[in-house]
Structure 1
Amino acid sequence: MLKFGSIIQKRGVSSSVRVFANYGKPQNPPIDTSIHMRIQPIVREGETIDVKRARLVYQSRKRGILESDLLLSRFAKKHLSTFNDEELDEYDKLLDEPDWDIYYWATKNYTVTPLPDKWKNSKILQLLQHDAENKDREILRMPELDLKNTK
């Protein structure tokens, strides 16, 4: 019995040592932060304005971050039906940006994510910032998904 107990104890110590030693394999190399990989946006050709509006409504709702979903879906519901083709293109390009960047730019929190020069004079971003202020202090909810009102 005593011999069996000492074997278990030895295994416990030796296995933990092997874990810390990583079985003699090198540790993961440090991450090179100078590498920036980003998937390029899909170039859509021949898309009608109605299809573009419907796509942008969907992309505004399904961002992956609830804060962005709420902010952008309300914005899309309110403004997309009045946007011309150039304004829709600008909004489409804005949606290609990372969710948290859009959120911080819309809420004017530039200390977390600085505003790039290409968005400093954006009419679309200014409209989004105005909506994000919520001056009427209304309770924000996701709008119903109604594609008939986006035309």
Structure 2
Amino acid sequence: MYTSRRQLSCSVRALLNHGKPQNPAYNIELQMKIEPITRTGETIEIKRARLVYQSRKRGILESDLLLSRFAKKYLNVLSEAELDEYDKLLDEPDWDIYYWATKNYDVTPLPDKWKNSKILEMIQEEAQNKDREIMRMPEL
């Protein structure tokens, strides 16, 4: 394998870093959480349309597939209270939702507020994919 002299010397210099620590420890706990938007005066039709969009555009494919299929199947039959619960669940980070849906609590423990969630149980049921379907994004 060909390695240029310059790359090698830069790598050695980076590893040595002249005796300085690469990542000094900081005693600062940084927490940044953007609070969800409080929506008022939203009709149930607009809420369903927004939740369909938010289910499809999560940011990671695994969550997009799981939640968009759930939304296509259930959003038109959920009550307003169930839609509110689903809306609150969508405020959680993508990977957390995915690990909770797949019951992978070793990676991301399930918080107490979601332990008795009917909506999360429905998503978990969908995630099992008992019919062994190839998952695709539903048509809009």
* TM-score, normalised via structure 1 length: 0.77
2:88 maps to which residue? 93
For residues 1-151 of structure 1, the aligned pairs below 5 Å read: 20=17, 30-32=25-27, 34-145=29-140
Aligned AA (1:96): D
After TM superposition, what 4+ stretches of structure 1 lie above 4 angstroms from structure 2?
none
Q: Which has the larger radius of gyration?
A: 1
Aligned residue pairs, count: 129
1:131/1:32 Cα in 2 relative to 1: closer, same or farther (>3 Å)? farther
RCO higher in structure (CA 8 A, sep ≥6): 1
Offset of residue 30 of structure 1: 3.4
* TM-score, normalised via structure 2 length: 0.83
Offset of residue 35 of structure 1: 2.4
What runs of 5+ residues in structure 1 fail to find an aligned partner? 1-11, 22-26, 146-151
CA RMSD, aligned part only?
Answer: 2.5
Question: How far, CA to CA, are the matches of 1:143 and 1:113 in structure 2?
Answer: 27
Structure with the largest fraction of helix: 1
1:93-149 per-position Cα deviation (integer Å, ceiling 9, x unaligned)? 00000000000000000000000000000000000000000001111100011xxxx
Aligned AA (1:30): A
Aligned AA (1:70): L
What runs of 5+ residues in structure 2 fail to find an aligned partner? 1-8
Question: How far, CA to CA, are the matches of 1:122 and 1:31 in structure 2?
Answer: 38
1:76-108 per-position Cα deviation (integer Å, ceiling 9, x unaligned)? 000000011100000000000000000000000
Secondary structure of 2:105's aligned partner: coil
Question: How far, CA to CA, are the matches of 2:27 and 2:65 in structure 1?
Answer: 35
Mean Cα deviation higher: 31-40 or 114-123: 31-40
